[in-house]
Amino acid sequence: MTLDREVLQASWSRTLGHLDAARDCLKGLPDVDLSATLEFLEHNELELAFDCLVDLSDDLDLPLAFWQRLDRAAREMRLYTNALHTPHLTAADICRRHLAIASEKE
């Protein structure tokens, strides 16, 4: 049981690191309020923080590194697997779309 908890904690830490790095990319941008994202992170609501970051950045032209961080967080949380069973567009789907667009630009 301890090993499972350690694995889960390590995954959580990696996810948090990716979300924090993505959030750092948005700091200082005009008209971007990160307070909700920070509140989600403080309450360990990583998936809600992910959704919030995707929502905040959907209309912004952000670099590939930003979308790569969100992609890594999504993979760590297994959001792409969950998205396959959801009939509507999810934040993970939007992240994947922006990742592809940013990759083509680079």
**Domain around 54:** 2-105
Q: How many domains does the chain have?
A: 1
Give residue 106's pLDDT: 74
pLDDT for the residue numbered 21 = 97
Q: What is the pTM of this model?
A: 0.85
Q: So what's the pLDDT on residue 78? A: 87
Q: Residue 106 in contact with residue 65, Cβ under 8 Å?
A: no
What is the structure's pLDDT at 92?
87
If 0-12 CB within 10 Å is exposed, 13-18 middle and 19+ buried, where does residue 6 land? Answer: exposed
Residues of the chain with pLDDT under 50: none
Residue 91: predicted pLDDT:
87
Predicted pLDDT at 93: 85
Beta carbons of 15 and 46 less than 8 angstroms apart: yes
Tokens (6 digits) for 69: 């961080």
Q: CB 102: neighbour CB atoms within 10 A?
A: 18
pLDDT for residue 36: 96
